Structure 1
Amino acid sequence: MTDDTQPMEGTPMIAPSSTDHPLHDAAVEACRSVFDPEIPVNIFDLGLIYTIDINDENDVRVVMTLTAPGCPVAGEMPGWVQEAIMGVAGVRTVDVELVWEPPWGMDMMSDEARLELGFM
């Protein structure tokens, strides 16, 4: 008997993004226009955007997290991301899912974000 609640060994905790989709780069740039008000770095470079999945109909599904569950903008930030990506020409719909697993860690930040925040 197997425990179906545990991910299979080797299964990534973060689903891959649709990096080969023509709208992917524009969606990333849209995410880079959104900032956590308490941190002077965009949410993409902070590592808060886990997955940008875009289907053939240009429906975008974003899986994201926050630096902490008690983040003061927890209720607002998914809407900011949705609004930013809806501004990308060609996007049909945007669904933003907020998750807490895997938990965000400073190791998820880009080198640019670490440099900006003085961690490098």
Structure 2
Amino acid sequence: MATFKETGIAALQDVIDPELGVDIVSLGLIYDVTNDDQGHCVVTMTLTMMGCPLTDVLANGITDALTALPEVKDVEINLVWEPAWSIARMSRAARLTLGV
């Protein structure tokens, strides 16, 4: 049986960064996904840069993807800057897709 983190990460693979055309998991933006017994889900993540203009778009996509799971009632996004995002966090497939 999959853990909630595995289930949550799988759901977040459907959230595509519209500028890059790659999902946020492959980009390495997601650090953690948890859910408590009351259905409160917390996503710890970063962005590729501070002031990213797509913050709201990504937050809406994350909320939609996770609230589609039966065990999730609400989603809180914990935006962090440590550890800092770098290209090294991207999956090999994402780097190939983006040519880096």
TM range (shorter): 0.7 to 0.9
2:14 is the counterpart of 1:33: yes
- Give the match's secondary structure for 2:32: strand
TM-score, with normalisation over the residues of structure 1? Answer: 0.71
The residue aligned with 1:101 is 82
Distance (Å, rounded) in 1 between the aligned partners of 2:53 and 2:31:
20
Unpaired runs of at least 5, structure 2 = none
Distance (Å, rounded) in 2 between the aligned partners of 1:61 and 1:30:
14
Q: Is contact 1:78–1:98 with CA below 8 Å preserved after alignment?
A: no
Distance (Å, rounded) in 2 between the aligned partners of 1:22 and 1:93:
18
The residue aligned with 1:66 is 47
C-alpha displacement of 1:21: 6.1
Q: Is contact 2:26–2:90 with CA below 8 Å preserved after alignment?
A: yes
> Which structure 1 residue ranges, 4+ long, deviate > 2 Å from structure 2?
20-26, 54-59
Alignment of 1:101-120 (within 5 A): 101-119=82-100
TM-score, with normalisation over the residues of structure 2? Answer: 0.83
Distance (Å, rounded) in 2 between the aligned partners of 1:41 and 1:76:
14
2:39 is the counterpart of 1:49: no
From the two aligned structures, give the one with the greater helix fraction. 2
In terms of Rg, which structure is larger? 1
How big is the alpha-carbon RMSD for the aligned residues of Structure 1 and Structure 2?
Answer: 2.0
Identity within the alignment, %? 37
The residue aligned with 1:4 is none
User: Cα distance 1:21–1:61, how it changes in 2: closer, same or farther (>3 A)?
Assistant: farther
From the two aligned structures, give the one with the greater strand fraction. 2
The residue aligned with 1:23 is 4
